[in-house]
Structure 1
Amino acid sequence: MTGSTGSTGSGWQVDDLDLASARALVRRAVDKAEQLGLSGGIVVVGASGALLTGSRMDDGGAGGMGRARSKAWIAATQRIPSTAHLHRLGVIAPAVAEGFSRISPEADFPGAGGMPIRVDGRVVAGIAASGSTVSPFFPPGIDRELMIADGQPANPEDLLIAYALEQEYAGQHGDDLARWHATFGEWPAEPPRGVGMATAPAASRQSDLDWCIALADAVIAAAEAAGLPVAVSVVDRRGEPIQHDQMDGAPTGGAYVAEAVAAASALFHAPSGDLAERVEGAGHLLPVAVSALSGGLPVRRDGVVVAGLGVGGPAPFRCHDLAVAALAAFTERG
């Protein structure tokens, strides 16, 4: 991506991609993933290392958002494809590689597939995907021409990222030809151009994700009306992220707080601000980070808790009020 996409900040040190542009990239990736029969998480991390946005597709599976976030963080902050970073880790001294992970906890999964995002030649973010079926391996029954991009063999994960960025396809996961040959047989002597990079129809089978995006949008609308830039997270009942957005100008710490208070509310079925005793007593036992700061609420459908909503950034009581108002308006709309 070049030229037309904006970024936020003053230009001091680094600028991050703006939320609207980051969201558009993720949605393009979702469209292509659905066309390819894939399901997982797609994440954009700013050049500063701040999480900007992420979406987990329906049936995306636990863990995918975390893996994608790690690869996107590497691509954004190291300014190189995560596969190049992975190669470097393999040739330097093991102690150095281990040290990188220790002091870069958001790079715990240094897998291939994360790509830097450039505007006017400058890296402003990184994007990556991972999940239950997002991988370089072909899903069963896929049309072989979908796995050909501009006359070259392609793999699903790298294809959806190249498509999102509107860039020429480049494989990041090793020998695409060998993988194609093992699945489809001999590579054609006169290969077709393929339809891997052809325009994907808008995703239409993401009802849970679309519901969570609408809830996040309700918070963003309430925050804009109040003049308070925030981060908002919607997590499933286990505390795994489904949708995350950080508004332009929001405090960077809000992203971490929003996730943690959303997870606390989802796991314990109560507002996060009411959970100090339980978080203190059981927080170390849980699979995700939780917080008893205000700003998190359980989200119910038909009386059953199905998600957690978290808002972070301004003072906790303001985040709580925003979450309450947005969730009430969203529920009233149905």
Structure 2
Amino acid sequence: MFSRDLSLVDAQALVRRAVDKAEQLGLRGGVAVVGASGALVTASRLDHGGPGGMARARSKAWIAATQQIPSTEHLHRMTTLPAPISNGFVGVSPEAVFPGAGGMPVRDEHGVVVAGIAASGATVSPFLPTGVAPEVVSADGRPANPEDLLIAYALGVPYVGQHGDDEARWKQRFGDLVVPPAESLGMAPAPASTSQASLDRARSLCDRVLRLAAENGLRVSVAVVDAGGDPIQQDRIDDAPAAGVDVALATAATAARFGCDSFVVASWYGTAVTQLGALHPAPLLAAPGGVPVFDDGRLVAGLGVGGADPVRCAALAAAALS
């Protein structure tokens, strides 16, 4: 019996808990869950979370999932090993390109690692955001940091700082101030998020695709990206092909960045299409599967589907928007 990744339903529940906690604490960034196979399961970016955070979260979650250790332990290894070894690891593990602390493995009821989870983004980091209240970055009366708070809360485990400098950052910002445990908000229950309009719409589009795919017996991945091509929401149906994650993201980014169905770009640029990918870090795939998303005539996003026949994937994306 081959092992399986954490289910999409369970992964989404973890990410939603992190998003709820982030909104309660006034934080903005992205949260990603990567399966033990190394394939992304789900990821969400809070409104105004800024580009780049999702990629960092995905990288740290990949490390925690595949190496089966907290990414902070991996970081220690990479910074103490000889450069040829650490560079070689990244060379053969390109998804580990951001070996930061904060990623945590997710275990099943038998203690087997089935995924990794991590967060990163605009104000989701080990740094204390400007103007943050001490209660927000305190867990049970002890100094904490935004990034590790979200992950501990999502997993439902006691807070343990993964970055190793909570006390130092606290003293630099708040001096000798002490927050009573009863006033600490870091691990307090968080209500469901209510102020994530862009994320909610992206989730709705992805849910429609997943529902239509299930009705048609297809196992696919889906992605919604902003107008610049950075992901807002990503999901992979259980046991869907791993490559579909990257195809969905690349076709969504192509549709968003060019404002047309992703396959059209090939006819626009002909043989020069192969050079377009070098112009910007956002992935590009001029094949069927991605469609632009408009709001009152304004290009706002891209929706991409991958992992099955590209023509059928494009039809799923179009149907989800209709």
TM-score range, shorter chain: over 0.9
Does residue 95 of structure 2 align to residue 106 of structure 1?
Answer: yes
Deviation readout 1:63-94 (Å, 9 max, x if unpaired): 00000100000000000000000000111111
In 1, the alpha carbon distance for the partners of 2:197 and 2:259 equals 23
Does residue 294 of structure 2 align to residue 303 of structure 1?
Answer: no
Give SS of 2:136's match: helix
Is the Cα–Cα contact under 8 Å of residues 112 and 172 in structure 1 kept in the other structure? yes
Partner of 1:219: 209
Is the Cα–Cα contact under 8 Å of residues 113 and 173 in structure 1 kept in the other structure? yes
Deviation readout 1:183-222 (Å, 9 max, x if unpaired): 222153x953533211012111111111111111111111
In 2, the alpha carbon distance for the partners of 1:118 and 1:317 equals 37
| Aligned pair partner of 2:20 in 19, 28, 31 | 31
Partner of 2:195: 205
Partner of 2:175: 185
Percent identity of equivalent pairs: 59
Partner of 1:18: 7
Equivalent AA in structure 2 for residue 154 of structure 1: A
Equivalent AA in structure 2 for residue 89 of structure 1: M
| Aligned pair partner of 2:261 in 255, 265, 271 | 271
Deviation readout 1:260-306 (Å, 9 max, x if unpaired): 11111111111112222433242221221111221111111111211
| Aligned pair partner of 1:248 in 218, 230, 238 | 238
Is the Cα–Cα contact under 8 Å of residues 30 and 43 in structure 2 kept in the other structure? yes
Deviation readout 1:166-196 (Å, 9 max, x if unpaired): 01111011121121122222153x9535332
Is the Cα–Cα contact under 8 Å of residues 42 and 68 in structure 1 kept in the other structure? yes
| Aligned pair partner of 2:115 in 101, 125, 129 | 125
- Residues 72-111 of structure 1 aligned to structure 2 (within 5 Å): 72-111=61-100
Runs ≥4 in structure 1, deviation > 4 angstroms? Answer: none
Partner of 1:312: 306
Using the TM superposition, give the Cα deviation of residue 149 of structure 1 relative to its aligned residue in structure 2, in angstroms: 1.5
| Aligned pair partner of 1:169 in 147, 154, 159 | 159
Is the Cα–Cα contact under 8 Å of residues 37 and 139 in structure 1 kept in the other structure? no
| Aligned pair partner of 2:105 in 116, 133, 140 | 116
In 2, the alpha carbon distance for the partners of 1:212 and 1:129 equals 18
In 2, the alpha carbon distance for the partners of 1:110 and 1:151 equals 29
Structure 2: unaligned runs, 5 residues or longer: none
Is the Cα–Cα contact under 8 Å of residues 70 and 102 in structure 2 kept in the other structure? yes
In 1, the alpha carbon distance for the partners of 2:275 and 2:144 equals 49
Equivalent AA in structure 2 for residue 34 of structure 1: E
In 1, the alpha carbon distance for the partners of 2:34 and 2:193 equals 23
In the alignment of these two chains, the number of paired residues is 316
In 1, the alpha carbon distance for the partners of 2:181 and 2:171 equals 15
| Aligned pair partner of 2:185 in 195, 199, 220 | 195
In 2, the alpha carbon distance for the partners of 1:47 and 1:125 equals 5
Equivalent AA in structure 1 for residue 144 of structure 2: A
Using the TM superposition, give the Cα deviation of residue 151 of structure 1 relative to its aligned residue in structure 2, in angstroms: 3.3
In 2, the alpha carbon distance for the partners of 1:289 and 1:175 equals 35
In 2, the alpha carbon distance for the partners of 1:148 and 1:39 equals 18
Give SS of 1:16's match: coil
Return 147-156 or 168-177, whichever deviates more. 147-156
Partner of 2:129: 139
| Aligned pair partner of 2:48 in 59, 64, 67 | 59
Using the TM superposition, give the Cα deviation of residue 227 of structure 1 relative to its aligned residue in structure 2, in angstroms: 1.2
Structure 1: unaligned runs, 5 residues or longer: 1-10, 329-334
Give SS of 1:227's match: coil
Using the TM superposition, give the Cα deviation of residue 323 of structure 1 relative to its aligned residue in structure 2, in angstroms: 1.1
In 2, the alpha carbon distance for the partners of 1:151 and 1:177 equals 12
In 2, the alpha carbon distance for the partners of 1:164 and 1:52 equals 16
| Aligned pair partner of 1:159 in 149, 164, 173 | 149
In 1, the alpha carbon distance for the partners of 2:31 and 2:172 equals 27
Q: CA RMSD in A?
A: 1.4
Is the Cα–Cα contact under 8 Å of residues 219 and 327 in structure 1 kept in the other structure? no
Is the Cα–Cα contact under 8 Å of residues 65 and 130 in structure 1 kept in the other structure? yes
In 2, the alpha carbon distance for the partners of 1:76 and 1:166 equals 18
Query: TM-score, normalised to structure 1's length?
Result: 0.91
